[in-house]
Amino acid sequence: MALVVQKFGGTSVANCNRIKRVADRVIRRKKQGDDVVVVLSAMAGQTNYLISLALEMQSQPDRRELDVLLATGEQVTISLFSMAVKARGFDAESFLGYQIPIETDTAHTRARIRNIPTDRLKRAIEQGKIPVVAGFQGVDNLGDITTLGRGGSDTTAVAVAVALDADVCEIYTDVDGVYTTDPNICPAARKIDRISYEEMLEMASLGAKVLEIRSVEFAMRYNMPLHVRSSFTENPGTMVVKEDESMEDVLVSAVTYSKDEARITVKKVPDKPGIAASLFNPISEANIVVDMIIQNTREGNLTDMTFTVPKGDYEQAMEIVKRTADEIGAESVAGDRGISKVSIVGVGMRNHAGVASKMFDILARHGVNILMISTSEIKVSCIIDEKFTELAVRALHEGFGLDKTDS
């Protein structure tokens, strides 16, 4: 008998019929003799809808109040699901974040889980019930409701699985598993059977939203196997597990993209010690994450600094940078929101030279200009004009032999 945590995403619980189907599925597993703990998202589109309501009230909604609002999405699905289970003659018990409690820090809208006591969940399991946990939400030490950031139900699921020492955490979604690239923009994408935590972590960080980044971090740290699979079919999905030797045979495992990028250039900054610190300290104090940075030296002891920030933080970052630019005597500040980042990921890159240059060749052949580059041991990323994103993803997918017909 295994202990399984099953998480169902927004599309899997998008309406009453789907919730009933999920209940049937969970009960089937229970009947096979496994203990199941369920984690649910809000109905598809619901979190976006709630955000749109908040924006009608305040242009930058108060984060504490926003969390109170957003947490209602998951409250609806866990209660409806538990009713569906009971209607089928089985027993379920729903839990909001504060009832378990899922203890987090106080960083509203992007809280981190600190601890999950398991007493209530274990008691429910012992009583033969199916515990049903609201994803995405927690409670801080003041007793205030927090949320974990978009896609955060994945993190709830993995954290609950780790706390309960479950055998596996199954993430049910609207695709068959983790693909070599987003199947919704590249029809030639292939499902990956097994992928390492490290590669999955890079993919998640570089835009593959099929798993939320922190959920993969958690799984990797505690060696919790993840099974990403479809809630609409019985097909086996993708196992996210520890790296093994066979994984290194594949040079590039996946292509990812992110349109959530914006670029800022500070022109003609006096080139002297401390300039980078004066420029980037105020940005990091505002909790804005700077990704790529390029410094170009000009004549006359001047330099240009170009860097990227998440699109959502662009306006705030521009305001801060303009202020600092004046202070440090820069000539001007320019910005561009129309960019994206395409990346190739693979543990096989560690032992092979020439992967980056092949990527540059492929992009060049398709007429895609590269604006910025960054590399690490297992990935290469290029910033390009946003309008070429899909073209670049498909070209790289084909160029690195990932298309379906190659298998």
Distance of CA 287 to the CA centre of its chain: 18
How many chain residues bind ligand ADP (CB under 6 A)?
Answer: 18
Task: Convert residues 180-199 into a mask of x (bound to ligand ADP by CB under 6 A) and - (unbound).
Answer: -xxxx---------------
Task: Count CB neighbours of 152 within 10 A.
Answer: 27
CB of 40 to Mg ion, least distance (A): 12
Sole binder of ligand ADP in the list 70, 92, 161, 175 (CB under 6 A):
175
Full DSSP string of 326-341: HHHT-SEEEEEEEEEE
- Of positions 131, 152, 183, 237, contacts ligand ASP by CB under 6 A: 152
Tell me how far, at minimum, the Cβ of 157 lies from Mg ion, in Å. Answer: 10
Task: Work out whether 47 is an interface residue with ligand ASP (CB under 6 A).
Answer: yes
73 binds, among ligand ADP, Mg ion, ligand ASP, none (CB under 5 to 8 A by kind): ligand ASP
Neighbours of 57 (CB within 10 A): 11
Residues between 129 and 148 with contacts to ligand ASP, criterion CB under 6 A: 135-136
Regarding 257 and contact with ligand ASP (CB under 6 A), the answer is: no
Residues contacting residue 344 through CB under 8 Å, at least 6 positions apart: 252, 254, 255, 355, 359, 379, 380, 396, 400
389 binds, among Mg ion, ligand ASP, ligand ADP, none (CB under 5 to 8 A by kind): none
Residue 362 and residue 266 in contact, taking contact as beta carbons nearer than 8 Å = no
Applying the rule CB under 6 A, the residues between 15 and 54 that interact with ligand ADP are: 41
Report the C-alpha gap between 324 and 312 in whole angstroms: 20
Binding mask 252-281 for ligand ADP (x = CB under 6 A): --x---------------------------
Indicate which single residue of 151, 177, 207, 237 sits in contact with Mg ion (rule: CB under 5 A).
151
DSSP assignments along 244-273, one per residue: -GGGGG-S--EEEEEEEEEEEEEEEEE--T
Interface size with ligand ASP, residues (CB under 6 A): 13
Residue 207 near Mg ion by CB under 5 A: no
The binding site for ligand ADP (CB under 6 A) comprises: 9-11, 41, 151, 173-175, 178-179, 181-184, 208-210, 254
The binding site for Mg ion (CB under 5 A) comprises: 9, 151
